[in-house]
């Protein structure tokens, strides 16, 4: 049935050449994001009005640090995927679209690594 070649059907990737990969990754990071966001909110609420030493001591706890690092990686990846959809929807010109997507990749990478670095520096420090 249809005009697809058997190989094309087996690959199941369609014209975008990536199939449902993007959709799936967005859902996986979304699912993981629910408990991670809950954790981040609880952490920030608990840190409300806390002084410097208390915050440092809290992030010193490996479980808090691991939770934060997981949340940072997950959320940064999720927002990179999401922004890609938004850009592809609204930026029609190919060069501008590529440039915007590149800028988004750089932004997400930089902001995630900066946040992870900060957490690890505090957690590994004394």
Partner 1 sequence: MSKGKSHPRPLSPHLQIYTKMLTMMVSISHRITGVALYFGFLALAWWLLAAASGPDYFDFVQTLFGSWLGRLVLFGFTWALVHHALGGIRHMIWDIGYGFELATIEWLARANLAGSIVLTLLIWIVGYWVR
Task: Provide the binding-site residues for partner 1, judged by CB under 8 A.
Answer: 27, 30-31, 33-34, 37, 40-41, 45-46, 48-49, 52-53, 55-56, 59, 68, 72, 75-76, 79, 82-83, 86, 111-112, 114-115, 117-119, 121-122
Angle value at C-alpha 73, between 67 and 77, nearest 5 degrees: 145
Closer by beta carbon to partner 1, 40 or else 101 = 40
**Least gap, CB of 84 to partner 1 (angstroms):** 11
Decide whether 20 or 98 has the Cβ nearer to partner 1.
Answer: 20
| Coil vs helix vs strand at 65 | helix
Taking Cα atoms as reference points, which of 40, 101, 112, 41 lies closest to residue 76?
A: 112
Could you tell me the smallest distance in angstroms from the CB atom of residue 94 to partner 1? Answer: 22
Cβ contacts of 125 within 8 Å, gap of 6 or more = 56, 60
Q: Give min distance, CB of 7 to partner 1, in A.
A: 29
C-alpha dist (Å) from residue 52 to 55, 65, 96: 5, 16, 43
């Amino acid at each position: 049935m249809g005009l697809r070649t058997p190989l094309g059907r087996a690959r199941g990737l369609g014209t975008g050449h990536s199939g449902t990969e993007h959709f799936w990754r967005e859902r996986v990071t979304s699912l993981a994001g629910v408990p991670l966001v809950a954790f981040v909110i609880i952490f920030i609420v608990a840190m409300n009005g806390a002084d410097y030493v208390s915050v440092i001591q809290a992030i010193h706890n490996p479980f808090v640090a691991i939770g934060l690092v997981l949340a940072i990686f997950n959320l940064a990846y999720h927002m990179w995927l999401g922004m890609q959809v938004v850009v592809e929807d609204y930026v029609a010109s190919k060069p501008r679209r590529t440039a915007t997507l590149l800028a988004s990749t750089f932004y997400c990478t930089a902001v995630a690594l900066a946040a992870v670095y900060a957490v690890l520096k505090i957690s590994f420090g004394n």
